[in-house]
Structure formats: C-alpha cells, structure tokens
Amino acid sequence: MRPMDAYFDRIGYRGGREPSFATLTAIASHHVRAIPFENLDVLLGRPPRLDLPSLEAKLITARRGGYCFEHATLCGAILEQLGFAVARHSARVVMVTPREQAPRTHMFLTVMDHVIDVGFGGLAPHVPVPLDGCAAGRHRIVRDGTGIALLHDDQRLWVSTLEPEAPIDFEMGNHFTATWAPSPFVQRMMLRAFTPDGKVTAMNRDVTITRGERSETFQLADRAALRELLRTHFGFDLDVSALRIPTVPEWAEQS
C-alpha cells in the first residue's frame, strides 16, 4: 500500500483527491479526529523524529499519535502530494505563558489562505480557519501587530509572524521541545483523542472523558492503568513501564 493510501486509511478518508477546498477541509477534519495528540515518546526518552519514514511508521503503521511537529509535517507532506501549495509556520503558544516567555515551539500550516492546525491538542480546529478573520466554528484569526493570532472563542491560543519557515527550523524547535528540561512536554504528560461524541484528555494522571455535555474525571492509579487507557480510548498499545513524569513524584522514576 502506498503511503498516501495508508494515510487515508488511517484517518478514514474515502473522498476525492483533487486539490480543492472541499478536499482540504475533509482531510483536516478526518486527521484531527483520527490521530491522537500525545507526547509519550518524549517521556520515554525518545525525542520524536520528523523524517517522513519515521512519521509514517509511528502515526500510520503503529497508529500512534504525536504532537504538533509530527502532525503538521505529515499532513503537510500529504497535502503537497495531492497538489496543494503548503506553507509551514511556527507560533508562540500564549494560552498560559506571556508572549515574551513563549518560544516558537508550535508548528502549523497555511493552505489556500487558511490555517490548518491539526496538531494543537484539545483545542485544535477541526476545519481550515480563514486568514481573513471570518469564524470557522469557535476559531478565528485576528491581526496581532504585524502578525496573527488564533482564537478559540475569546481565548488567544498562539501568535505568529506568519513567515514561512524551513524544515531545519522545525528540527530545532522539535529538539528544544523534546529535550529542554523545563519544557512542558518534558515535564508533563499530555494526551487527547477525539471520539464520536466527545473527547478524552489526560494531563499527567488526571483524565477527563467528555461525552456530549457530560464529563467524567478520574485519576490514573499507575502505568498499567495508563496502558489500558491508551488501548481503550487512543487505539494503540504501548509499553509505558519506563515512562517518567517529572511533575508527578511517584512517576518521576522508573517503577
């Protein structure tokens, strides 16, 4: 099976392959819903690789998830194979961090004058967001000085200069994100999977399962419970016996 066919099988997409806005919208929506957001490799001491064979092996063949650099790199490559003109950009995530303290550690795409951000975790837009400021569901783009910001309702998610960047820029950002000791992705476990009626999220040991308007919260007891959560809600099995969460003392060392 060719990588593109395998990718479409992975995200459950059966539509057309012409480089149209309808195709772009469908692929973005299917990708976000099918491929989870997770940083488990970072916490297992295995910084993610961004070359396409590694991404295909992890996100497609092994049916794993990943974080923004992995999602955006894979999705961008597929869109280019279909004939779309794709630009790659970095952003500063400012949800809880002041702009002057937020490094450029988020990756997103622009295609057909729309933002495609399939790797933003639980608040990722499910459809392209127009650069002209029109709303796309609960997301919209606003001007931010000489750049732009992505909003979810009235919350600023990230800001960007919108300049196109080269693969080496994302290699550097990926290395920093996955190895710098104070990095949120080194310090905390972050998981998200969308379901037909809601989503499942985890921050360290705290899990929330949302179904429609109802939410259930609980705490993972141990790594065995985490592995079962991954099998049940994220669609893959993974040995997490060596996983470390520095901000959770009992999980900070191998047990």
Catalytic residue among 30, 31, 71, 117: 117
Helix (H, G, I), strand (E, B) or coil at 117: coil
Structure tokens at 15: 């539509």
Amino acid at 116: I
| Active site annotation includes 153 | no
| Active site annotation includes 75 | no
Catalytic residue among 30, 31, 41, 68: 68
Sheet containing strand 139-144, edge to edge, reads 129-130, 114-116, 104-111, 86-93, 155-160, 147-152, 139-144
DSSP characters over 147-178: EEEEEETTEEEEEE------HHHHHHHHHHHH
| Active site annotation includes 68 | yes
Q: How far apart are CA 91 and CA 54, in angstroms?
A: 24
Catalytic residue among 89, 106, 126, 139: 106
Q: How far apart are CA 94 and CA 83, in angstroms?
A: 33
| Residues classed as catalytic | 68, 106, 117
